[in-house]
């Protein structure tokens, strides 16, 4: 199944990439160049930024916000 690149929200992709880059940079600075510590800190920072950006409502910025979807019940 090919990916339809016209359906990709490129602003969202670039924004998440910028968050990942900032998290990795801060993780590296905070951990004093310890690779494992930097990776751990970057993962935690990115997770926190991702959750804050996607689940906290931003009325001024109209970007995708994750909505809860329920699976249809099997009968």
Question: What is the reported pTM?
Answer: 0.70
17-57 pLDDT per residue, tens? 999 999 999 999 999 878 999 999 999 999 999 888 877 76
Yes or no: say if 38 and 24 are a contact pair by the CB < 8 Å rule: yes
Largest CA distance in the chain: 56
List C-alpha distances in Å: 58 to 13, 18, 24, 53, 63.
18, 18, 24, 8, 8
Domain residues of the chain, as ranges?
Answer: 17-75
List C-alpha distances in Å: 37 to 1, 28, 57, 59, 60.
38, 8, 31, 35, 35
Please give the span between the terminal C-alpha atoms of the chain, in angstroms, as a whole number.
29
């Amino acid at each position: 199944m090919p990916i339809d690149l016209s359906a990709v929200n490129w602003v969202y992709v670039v924004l998440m990439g910028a968050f990942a880059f900032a998290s990795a940079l801060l993780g590296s600075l905070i951990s004093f160049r310890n690779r494992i510590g930097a990776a751990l800190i970057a993962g935690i920072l990115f997770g926190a930024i991702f959750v804050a950006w996607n689940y906290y409502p931003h009325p001024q910025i109209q970007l995708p916000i994750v909505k809860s979807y329920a699976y249809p019940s099997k009968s």
